[in-house]
Chain A
Amino acid sequence: MTVPRTPPGTAAFCLALLRRQLTLAARRPIEIGNPLLFFAMVVALFPLGLGPAPDQLAGFAPGILWIIALLSSLLTSDTVFRSDFEDGSLEQLLLAPQPLFMSVLAYICAHWLVTGLLLALVSPLFALMIKLPAAAIGALVASLLLGTAVLSLVGGIGAALTVGLKRGGMLISLLILPFYMPVLIFGSAAVQNATLGIPAAPYLAVLGALLCLAIALAPLAIAAGLRISVDA
Protein backbone atom coordinates (compact mmCIF):
# COMPACT_ATOMS: atom_id res chain seq x y z
CA MET A 1 0.00 0.00 0.00
CA THR A 2 2.78 2.42 -0.83
CA VAL A 3 2.41 3.50 -4.42
CA PRO A 4 -0.92 5.24 -5.13
CA ARG A 5 -2.64 3.60 -8.06
CA THR A 6 -4.86 5.43 -10.45
CA PRO A 7 -7.56 3.79 -12.54
CA PRO A 8 -6.31 2.72 -15.97
CA GLY A 9 -7.27 4.91 -18.90
CA THR A 10 -10.24 4.00 -21.02
CA ALA A 11 -8.15 2.62 -23.87
CA ALA A 12 -6.07 0.40 -21.58
CA PHE A 13 -9.19 -0.81 -19.80
CA CYS A 14 -10.98 -1.65 -23.04
CA LEU A 15 -7.94 -3.53 -24.31
CA ALA A 16 -7.88 -5.53 -21.09
CA LEU A 17 -11.60 -6.28 -21.50
CA LEU A 18 -11.05 -7.34 -25.10
CA ARG A 19 -8.21 -9.63 -24.04
CA ARG A 20 -10.36 -11.06 -21.26
CA GLN A 21 -13.27 -11.78 -23.59
CA LEU A 22 -11.05 -13.33 -26.24
CA THR A 23 -9.28 -15.49 -23.66
CA LEU A 24 -12.65 -16.64 -22.34
CA ALA A 25 -13.75 -17.52 -25.87
CA ALA A 26 -10.49 -19.32 -26.60
CA ARG A 27 -10.85 -21.45 -23.45
CA ARG A 28 -14.18 -22.72 -24.78
CA PRO A 29 -13.30 -23.35 -28.45
CA ILE A 30 -16.48 -25.31 -29.11
CA GLU A 31 -18.49 -22.12 -28.63
CA ILE A 32 -16.48 -20.49 -31.40
CA GLY A 33 -17.01 -23.54 -33.58
CA ASN A 34 -20.76 -23.80 -32.99
CA PRO A 35 -21.89 -20.91 -35.23
CA LEU A 36 -19.66 -22.16 -38.04
CA LEU A 37 -21.04 -25.65 -37.67
CA PHE A 38 -24.55 -24.21 -37.65
CA PHE A 39 -23.74 -22.32 -40.85
CA ALA A 40 -22.50 -25.51 -42.53
CA MET A 41 -25.51 -27.55 -41.47
CA VAL A 42 -28.12 -25.03 -42.59
CA VAL A 43 -26.32 -24.67 -45.92
CA ALA A 44 -26.75 -28.42 -46.30
CA LEU A 45 -30.48 -28.09 -45.55
CA PHE A 46 -31.20 -25.92 -48.57
CA PRO A 47 -30.27 -28.37 -51.34
CA LEU A 48 -32.30 -30.98 -49.44
CA GLY A 49 -35.29 -28.69 -49.29
CA LEU A 50 -35.03 -26.94 -52.64
CA GLY A 51 -33.57 -29.72 -54.77
CA PRO A 52 -29.97 -30.02 -55.93
CA ALA A 53 -30.35 -28.25 -59.31
CA PRO A 54 -27.27 -25.94 -59.44
CA ASP A 55 -29.02 -23.14 -61.34
CA GLN A 56 -31.81 -22.85 -58.84
CA LEU A 57 -29.41 -22.91 -55.89
CA ALA A 58 -27.21 -20.28 -57.51
CA GLY A 59 -30.20 -17.98 -57.89
CA PHE A 60 -31.09 -18.20 -54.22
CA ALA A 61 -27.51 -18.39 -52.91
CA PRO A 62 -27.02 -14.69 -51.97
CA GLY A 63 -30.20 -14.64 -49.92
CA ILE A 64 -29.60 -18.05 -48.38
CA LEU A 65 -26.05 -17.26 -47.30
CA TRP A 66 -27.08 -13.94 -45.79
CA ILE A 67 -30.05 -15.36 -43.92
CA ILE A 68 -27.91 -18.09 -42.40
CA ALA A 69 -25.23 -15.60 -41.41
CA LEU A 70 -27.94 -13.51 -39.78
CA LEU A 71 -29.35 -16.46 -37.87
CA SER A 72 -26.00 -17.65 -36.58
CA SER A 73 -25.18 -14.14 -35.41
CA LEU A 74 -28.60 -13.97 -33.74
CA LEU A 75 -28.13 -17.27 -31.94
CA THR A 76 -24.81 -16.23 -30.45
CA SER A 77 -25.73 -12.69 -29.44
CA ASP A 78 -27.76 -13.96 -26.49
CA THR A 79 -24.53 -15.09 -24.83
CA VAL A 80 -22.60 -11.80 -24.99
CA PHE A 81 -23.48 -10.62 -21.50
CA ARG A 82 -25.21 -13.65 -19.99
CA SER A 83 -22.36 -15.33 -18.16
CA ASP A 84 -21.14 -11.97 -16.86
CA PHE A 85 -24.61 -11.23 -15.59
CA GLU A 86 -24.88 -14.57 -13.85
CA ASP A 87 -21.57 -14.42 -12.01
CA GLY A 88 -21.83 -10.76 -11.01
CA SER A 89 -19.13 -9.38 -13.32
CA LEU A 90 -21.70 -7.17 -14.99
CA GLU A 91 -22.46 -5.21 -11.80
CA GLN A 92 -18.76 -4.60 -11.36
CA LEU A 93 -18.49 -3.41 -14.97
CA LEU A 94 -21.27 -0.89 -14.38
CA LEU A 95 -19.42 0.47 -11.35
CA ALA A 96 -16.15 0.88 -13.26
CA PRO A 97 -14.99 4.49 -13.53
CA GLN A 98 -14.39 4.16 -17.28
CA PRO A 99 -17.26 5.10 -19.62
CA LEU A 100 -19.62 2.19 -20.16
CA PHE A 101 -20.02 3.19 -23.82
CA MET A 102 -16.44 2.13 -24.56
CA SER A 103 -16.45 -1.03 -22.42
CA VAL A 104 -19.62 -2.15 -24.18
CA LEU A 105 -17.90 -1.59 -27.53
CA ALA A 106 -15.04 -3.80 -26.35
CA TYR A 107 -17.51 -6.60 -25.53
CA ILE A 108 -19.24 -6.28 -28.90
CA CYS A 109 -15.91 -6.13 -30.70
CA ALA A 110 -14.86 -9.38 -29.04
CA HIS A 111 -18.15 -10.97 -30.04
CA TRP A 112 -17.72 -9.87 -33.64
CA LEU A 113 -14.15 -11.14 -33.79
CA VAL A 114 -15.18 -14.66 -32.77
CA THR A 115 -18.42 -14.85 -34.77
CA GLY A 116 -18.80 -12.36 -37.63
CA LEU A 117 -15.18 -12.21 -38.67
CA LEU A 118 -14.76 -15.99 -38.67
CA LEU A 119 -18.07 -16.42 -40.46
CA ALA A 120 -17.01 -13.99 -43.18
CA LEU A 121 -13.65 -15.71 -43.56
CA VAL A 122 -15.08 -19.21 -44.00
CA SER A 123 -18.09 -18.12 -46.06
CA PRO A 124 -16.35 -18.67 -49.47
CA LEU A 125 -16.27 -22.38 -48.71
CA PHE A 126 -20.03 -22.51 -48.09
CA ALA A 127 -20.61 -20.22 -51.07
CA LEU A 128 -18.93 -22.75 -53.34
CA MET A 129 -21.02 -25.57 -51.88
CA ILE A 130 -24.21 -23.71 -52.67
CA LYS A 131 -23.03 -22.75 -56.18
CA LEU A 132 -22.63 -19.02 -55.72
CA PRO A 133 -20.79 -17.73 -58.83
CA ALA A 134 -17.12 -17.22 -58.04
CA ALA A 135 -17.30 -13.59 -59.14
CA ALA A 136 -19.55 -12.77 -56.20
CA ILE A 137 -17.36 -14.24 -53.48
CA GLY A 138 -15.43 -11.01 -52.92
CA ALA A 139 -18.67 -9.10 -52.44
CA LEU A 140 -19.96 -11.81 -50.10
CA VAL A 141 -16.93 -11.61 -47.81
CA ALA A 142 -16.90 -7.81 -47.83
CA SER A 143 -20.62 -7.52 -47.17
CA LEU A 144 -20.43 -10.09 -44.37
CA LEU A 145 -17.48 -8.29 -42.76
CA LEU A 146 -19.42 -5.01 -42.62
CA GLY A 147 -22.84 -6.48 -42.08
CA THR A 148 -22.06 -8.89 -39.25
CA ALA A 149 -20.50 -6.02 -37.31
CA VAL A 150 -23.84 -4.20 -37.50
CA LEU A 151 -25.60 -7.41 -36.51
CA SER A 152 -23.34 -7.81 -33.46
CA LEU A 153 -24.04 -4.24 -32.34
CA VAL A 154 -27.80 -4.50 -32.83
CA GLY A 155 -27.86 -7.97 -31.31
CA GLY A 156 -26.08 -6.52 -28.29
CA ILE A 157 -29.09 -4.26 -27.68
CA GLY A 158 -31.39 -7.27 -27.53
CA ALA A 159 -28.90 -9.14 -25.35
CA ALA A 160 -28.64 -6.22 -22.93
CA LEU A 161 -32.41 -5.88 -22.61
CA THR A 162 -33.05 -9.58 -22.04
CA VAL A 163 -29.97 -10.62 -20.05
CA GLY A 164 -31.85 -10.42 -16.76
CA LEU A 165 -34.66 -12.66 -17.95
CA LYS A 166 -34.63 -16.41 -17.39
CA ARG A 167 -36.26 -17.13 -20.73
CA GLY A 168 -34.56 -14.59 -22.92
CA GLY A 169 -33.56 -16.86 -25.80
CA MET A 170 -36.66 -16.68 -27.95
CA LEU A 171 -37.54 -13.16 -26.93
CA ILE A 172 -34.28 -11.70 -28.22
CA SER A 173 -35.12 -12.89 -31.74
CA LEU A 174 -38.53 -11.21 -31.58
CA LEU A 175 -36.95 -7.96 -30.44
CA ILE A 176 -34.08 -7.61 -32.86
CA LEU A 177 -35.00 -9.45 -36.04
CA PRO A 178 -36.94 -6.41 -37.36
CA PHE A 179 -33.81 -4.32 -36.86
CA TYR A 180 -31.77 -6.85 -38.84
CA MET A 181 -33.88 -6.38 -41.96
CA PRO A 182 -32.04 -3.39 -43.49
CA VAL A 183 -28.73 -5.24 -43.15
CA LEU A 184 -30.22 -8.31 -44.81
CA ILE A 185 -31.62 -6.23 -47.66
CA PHE A 186 -28.39 -4.42 -48.46
CA GLY A 187 -26.11 -7.37 -47.74
CA SER A 188 -27.91 -9.76 -50.04
CA ALA A 189 -28.38 -7.01 -52.65
CA ALA A 190 -24.61 -6.48 -52.74
CA VAL A 191 -24.00 -10.17 -53.37
CA GLN A 192 -26.86 -10.36 -55.85
CA ASN A 193 -25.42 -7.45 -57.82
CA ALA A 194 -22.01 -9.06 -57.88
CA THR A 195 -23.47 -12.27 -59.34
CA LEU A 196 -24.99 -10.19 -62.15
CA GLY A 197 -21.72 -8.38 -62.78
CA ILE A 198 -22.98 -5.03 -61.45
CA PRO A 199 -20.69 -3.24 -58.97
CA ALA A 200 -21.56 -4.03 -55.37
CA ALA A 201 -19.80 -0.97 -54.00
CA PRO A 202 -22.91 1.22 -53.48
CA TYR A 203 -24.49 -1.41 -51.24
CA LEU A 204 -21.25 -1.93 -49.38
CA ALA A 205 -21.16 1.82 -48.84
CA VAL A 206 -24.67 1.73 -47.37
CA LEU A 207 -23.62 -1.13 -45.09
CA GLY A 208 -20.65 0.98 -44.04
CA ALA A 209 -22.96 3.87 -43.26
CA LEU A 210 -25.22 1.59 -41.22
CA LEU A 211 -22.13 0.39 -39.35
CA CYS A 212 -21.08 3.96 -38.52
CA LEU A 213 -24.57 4.74 -37.23
CA ALA A 214 -24.66 1.53 -35.21
CA ILE A 215 -21.25 2.20 -33.64
CA ALA A 216 -22.39 5.68 -32.64
CA LEU A 217 -25.81 4.79 -31.24
CA ALA A 218 -26.04 1.09 -30.33
CA PRO A 219 -23.63 1.27 -27.35
CA LEU A 220 -25.87 3.94 -25.81
CA ALA A 221 -28.86 1.60 -25.96
CA ILE A 222 -26.78 -1.37 -24.81
CA ALA A 223 -25.44 0.59 -21.82
CA ALA A 224 -28.95 1.72 -20.88
CA GLY A 225 -30.24 -1.83 -21.28
CA LEU A 226 -27.50 -3.26 -19.06
CA ARG A 227 -28.21 -0.74 -16.30
CA ILE A 228 -31.89 -1.67 -16.41
CA SER A 229 -31.19 -5.41 -16.44
CA VAL A 230 -28.80 -5.25 -13.49
CA ASP A 231 -31.31 -3.15 -11.57
CA ALA A 232 -34.35 -5.32 -12.23
Chain B
Amino acid sequence: MPPGPGGEALLTVAALCLERGGRELFRDLAFAVRPGQLVQIEGANGAGKTSLLRILAGLSRYGYSGSVARHCPLLYLGHLSAVKALLTPRENLAWHVAGESSYSRPQIDEALAKVGLYGYEDVPSHALSAGQHRRVNLARLYLSQCPLWLLDEPFTAIDKSGVAELELLLVEHVRRGGAVVLTSHQSLQVAYPVQILSLSEGLAA
Protein backbone atom coordinates (compact mmCIF):
# COMPACT_ATOMS: atom_id res chain seq x y z
CA MET B 1 0.00 0.00 0.00
CA PRO B 2 1.38 3.42 -0.86
CA PRO B 3 2.32 5.21 2.34
CA GLY B 4 2.21 8.76 1.01
CA PRO B 5 0.40 10.78 -1.64
CA GLY B 6 0.69 9.41 -5.14
CA GLY B 7 -0.98 7.08 -7.58
CA GLU B 8 -3.99 7.52 -9.81
CA ALA B 9 -6.30 10.39 -8.95
CA LEU B 10 -9.54 9.36 -7.23
CA LEU B 11 -11.25 12.63 -7.99
CA THR B 12 -10.36 15.40 -10.41
CA VAL B 13 -11.89 18.83 -10.50
CA ALA B 14 -11.35 21.34 -13.27
CA ALA B 15 -12.44 24.96 -13.73
CA LEU B 16 -15.13 24.70 -11.09
CA CYS B 17 -17.12 27.90 -10.52
CA LEU B 18 -20.13 28.28 -8.26
CA GLU B 19 -22.53 31.17 -7.96
CA ARG B 20 -25.32 31.33 -5.41
CA GLY B 21 -27.85 34.13 -5.29
CA GLY B 22 -25.80 36.27 -7.66
CA ARG B 23 -22.69 35.95 -5.47
CA GLU B 24 -19.64 34.09 -6.70
CA LEU B 25 -18.49 31.62 -4.05
CA PHE B 26 -15.46 30.29 -5.86
CA ARG B 27 -14.11 30.28 -9.38
CA ASP B 28 -11.65 28.25 -11.42
CA LEU B 29 -11.14 25.70 -8.72
CA ALA B 30 -8.92 22.90 -9.98
CA PHE B 31 -7.42 20.06 -8.00
CA ALA B 32 -7.05 16.32 -7.88
CA VAL B 33 -7.44 14.07 -4.87
CA ARG B 34 -5.00 11.16 -4.86
CA PRO B 35 -4.63 8.13 -2.59
CA GLY B 36 -3.00 9.09 0.71
CA GLN B 37 -4.30 12.65 0.74
CA LEU B 38 -6.09 14.16 3.69
CA VAL B 39 -7.71 17.38 2.50
CA GLN B 40 -9.47 19.86 4.74
CA ILE B 41 -11.73 22.46 3.13
CA GLU B 42 -11.66 25.71 5.06
CA GLY B 43 -13.72 28.84 4.81
CA ALA B 44 -16.08 31.04 6.75
CA ASN B 45 -19.81 30.32 7.08
CA GLY B 46 -21.39 30.68 3.69
CA ALA B 47 -18.10 30.27 1.85
CA GLY B 48 -19.51 27.28 0.00
CA LYS B 49 -17.86 24.36 1.83
CA THR B 50 -20.97 22.21 1.96
CA SER B 51 -21.93 23.20 -1.58
CA LEU B 52 -18.49 22.17 -2.81
CA LEU B 53 -18.69 18.83 -1.03
CA ARG B 54 -22.13 18.14 -2.48
CA ILE B 55 -20.85 18.96 -5.94
CA LEU B 56 -17.91 16.60 -5.41
CA ALA B 57 -20.27 13.84 -4.23
CA GLY B 58 -22.53 14.32 -7.23
CA LEU B 59 -25.58 15.42 -5.26
CA SER B 60 -25.52 18.90 -6.76
CA ARG B 61 -25.89 18.57 -10.47
CA TYR B 62 -26.51 22.10 -11.68
CA GLY B 63 -25.91 25.69 -10.72
CA TYR B 64 -22.17 25.32 -11.20
CA SER B 65 -19.87 25.28 -14.18
CA GLY B 66 -16.75 23.19 -14.64
CA SER B 67 -16.18 19.46 -14.45
CA VAL B 68 -15.91 16.91 -11.68
CA ALA B 69 -14.69 13.40 -12.49
CA ARG B 70 -15.09 10.63 -9.92
CA HIS B 71 -12.90 7.59 -10.53
CA CYS B 72 -13.85 5.39 -7.58
CA PRO B 73 -16.74 4.59 -5.23
CA LEU B 74 -17.15 7.24 -2.60
CA LEU B 75 -18.72 7.57 0.79
CA TYR B 76 -20.42 10.84 1.66
CA LEU B 77 -21.52 11.81 5.14
CA GLY B 78 -23.59 14.97 5.23
CA HIS B 79 -25.14 17.11 7.94
CA LEU B 80 -28.05 14.71 8.23
CA SER B 81 -27.32 11.40 9.87
CA ALA B 82 -29.55 9.22 7.66
CA VAL B 83 -30.42 7.21 10.78
CA LYS B 84 -34.02 6.03 10.93
CA ALA B 85 -35.48 6.57 14.39
CA LEU B 86 -37.73 3.52 14.10
CA LEU B 87 -34.92 1.12 13.30
CA THR B 88 -32.24 -0.15 15.66
CA PRO B 89 -28.61 0.81 14.96
CA ARG B 90 -27.97 -2.70 13.69
CA GLU B 91 -30.89 -2.54 11.24
CA ASN B 92 -29.88 0.94 10.18
CA LEU B 93 -26.51 -0.39 9.06
CA ALA B 94 -27.73 -3.71 7.68
CA TRP B 95 -30.34 -2.11 5.41
CA HIS B 96 -28.48 1.08 4.73
CA VAL B 97 -29.79 2.87 1.65
CA ALA B 98 -26.28 3.74 0.43
CA GLY B 99 -26.01 0.14 -0.76
CA GLU B 100 -22.22 -0.08 -0.67
CA SER B 101 -22.07 -3.54 0.79
CA SER B 102 -24.06 -6.17 2.60
CA TYR B 103 -22.45 -6.55 5.98
CA SER B 104 -22.62 -9.58 8.20
CA ARG B 105 -23.89 -9.25 11.74
CA PRO B 106 -20.49 -9.64 13.42
CA GLN B 107 -19.04 -6.96 11.16
CA ILE B 108 -21.82 -4.55 12.12
CA ASP B 109 -21.54 -5.34 15.82
CA GLU B 110 -17.79 -4.83 15.67
CA ALA B 111 -18.19 -1.45 13.97
CA LEU B 112 -20.83 -0.37 16.48
CA ALA B 113 -18.54 -1.40 19.34
CA LYS B 114 -15.76 0.69 17.82
CA VAL B 115 -17.91 3.84 17.84
CA GLY B 116 -18.87 3.18 21.45
CA LEU B 117 -22.34 1.81 20.89
CA TYR B 118 -21.69 -1.64 22.36
CA GLY B 119 -24.91 -2.72 24.03
CA TYR B 120 -27.04 -0.34 21.99
CA GLU B 121 -27.28 -2.56 18.90
CA ASP B 122 -30.93 -3.47 19.46
CA VAL B 123 -32.20 -0.28 21.06
CA PRO B 124 -34.60 1.64 18.81
CA SER B 125 -32.72 4.65 17.52
CA HIS B 126 -35.28 7.16 18.77
CA ALA B 127 -34.06 6.33 22.27
CA LEU B 128 -30.52 7.45 21.35
CA SER B 129 -29.09 10.94 21.61
CA ALA B 130 -28.13 13.17 18.69
CA GLY B 131 -24.46 12.39 19.28
CA GLN B 132 -25.21 8.67 19.27
CA HIS B 133 -27.03 9.07 15.96
CA ARG B 134 -23.88 10.66 14.56
CA ARG B 135 -21.92 7.72 15.90
CA VAL B 136 -24.18 5.19 14.17
CA ASN B 137 -23.45 7.10 11.02
CA LEU B 138 -19.71 7.10 11.70
CA ALA B 139 -19.81 3.32 12.14
CA ARG B 140 -20.15 3.24 8.36
CA LEU B 141 -16.57 4.50 8.15
CA TYR B 142 -15.37 1.35 9.92
CA LEU B 143 -17.37 -0.85 7.55
CA SER B 144 -16.81 0.96 4.29
CA GLN B 145 -14.45 -0.17 1.58
CA CYS B 146 -14.78 3.02 -0.46
CA PRO B 147 -11.38 4.60 -1.09
CA LEU B 148 -12.70 8.16 -1.10
CA TRP B 149 -14.46 9.69 1.88
CA LEU B 150 -16.26 13.03 1.68
CA LEU B 151 -17.15 14.15 5.19
CA ASP B 152 -19.15 17.27 5.95
CA GLU B 153 -18.44 18.45 9.52
CA PRO B 154 -17.85 14.93 10.84
CA PHE B 155 -16.96 16.20 14.33
CA THR B 156 -20.31 17.87 15.03
CA ALA B 157 -21.97 16.59 18.21
CA ILE B 158 -19.13 14.14 18.89
CA ASP B 159 -17.44 14.19 22.32
CA LYS B 160 -13.70 14.72 22.82
CA SER B 161 -12.64 11.07 22.95
CA GLY B 162 -14.82 10.40 19.90
CA VAL B 163 -13.05 13.17 18.00
CA ALA B 164 -9.66 11.69 18.81
CA GLU B 165 -10.73 8.22 17.67
CA LEU B 166 -12.18 9.62 14.48
CA GLU B 167 -8.94 11.45 13.73
CA LEU B 168 -7.02 8.22 14.21
CA LEU B 169 -9.42 6.45 11.86
CA LEU B 170 -8.97 9.10 9.17
CA VAL B 171 -5.19 8.79 9.35
CA GLU B 172 -5.42 5.01 9.23
CA HIS B 173 -7.61 5.26 6.14
CA VAL B 174 -5.27 7.56 4.21
CA ARG B 175 -2.24 5.46 5.24
CA ARG B 176 -4.01 2.44 3.75
CA GLY B 177 -4.23 4.23 0.42
CA GLY B 178 -7.59 5.93 0.81
CA ALA B 179 -8.27 9.64 0.62
CA VAL B 180 -10.37 11.95 2.76
CA VAL B 181 -11.88 15.32 1.94
CA LEU B 182 -13.55 16.93 4.91
CA THR B 183 -14.91 20.25 6.07
CA SER B 184 -14.37 21.31 9.66
CA HIS B 185 -14.04 24.47 11.65
CA GLN B 186 -11.47 22.99 14.00
CA SER B 187 -7.99 22.10 12.87
CA LEU B 188 -7.14 18.41 12.88
CA GLN B 189 -4.79 17.11 15.60
CA VAL B 190 -3.16 14.40 13.53
CA ALA B 191 0.36 13.17 12.89
CA TYR B 192 -0.10 13.35 9.15
CA PRO B 193 0.27 16.16 6.60
CA VAL B 194 -3.11 17.83 6.14
CA GLN B 195 -3.67 19.72 2.92
CA ILE B 196 -5.77 22.83 3.30
CA LEU B 197 -8.13 24.00 0.59
CA SER B 198 -9.11 27.50 1.54
CA LEU B 199 -12.26 28.71 -0.17
CA SER B 200 -11.85 32.35 0.81
CA GLU B 201 -8.65 32.49 -1.23
CA GLY B 202 -9.81 30.02 -3.82
CA LEU B 203 -6.57 28.08 -4.16
CA ALA B 204 -5.21 24.80 -2.93
CA ALA B 205 -2.21 25.05 -0.62
Contact = CB atoms under 8 A, between A and B. Distances in A.
Interface of A: 1, 4-8, 12-13, 16-17, 19-20, 23-24, 27-28, 83-84, 86-98, 103, 227, 230-231
10 contacts: A1-B176, A8-B101, A8-B102, A28-B86, A87-B82, A88-B78, A89-B84, A91-B76, A91-B80, A227-B61
Dominant SS among interface residues on chain B: loop
A93 B91 CA distance: 16
B84 A88 contact: no
Given A12-B102, A24-B84, A89-B82, 13 more contacts: A5-B101, A7-B99, A8-B102, A20-B97, A87-B85, A88-B80, A90-B97, A92-B97, A95-B57, A95-B59, A95-B76, A231-B59, A231-B60
B95 A19 contact: yes
A24 B87 contact: yes
B76 A5 contact: no
A66 B57 CA distance: 44
Contact of B145 (A4, A19, A90, A96): A4
Contact of B100 (A91, A96, A231): A96
Task: Give 3 nearest A-B pairs by CB, closest first.
Answer: A88-B80, A96-B99, A20-B95
Given A87-B82, A91-B80, A95-B76, A23 B98 contact: no
A95 B58 contact: yes
Interface string B44-78: 00000000000001111111000000000110101
A7 B100 contact: yes
Nearest to A10: B99
Contacts of A27: 86-87
B86 A24 contact: yes
A24 B85 CA distance: 9
Q: Interface size for chain B: under 10, 10 to 19, 20 to 34, or 35 or more residues?
A: 20 to 34
B138 to A, nearest CB: 14
Nearest to B172: A1
Interface in B88-110: 91, 94-103
Contacts of A19: 95
B98 A92 contact: yes
A83 B86 CA distance: 11
B185 interface: no
Contacts of B82: 87-89, 91-92
A18 to B, nearest CB: 10
Contacts of B78: 88, 91
B61 A98 contact: no
B87 A17 contact: no
B56 to A, nearest CB: 11
Contact of A96 (B61, B81, B98, B102): B98
Given A4-B145, A89-B84, A16 B98 contact: no
A20 B91 contact: yes
B83 A17 contact: no
A6 B101 contact: yes
Contact of B95 (A16, A84, A87, A91): A16
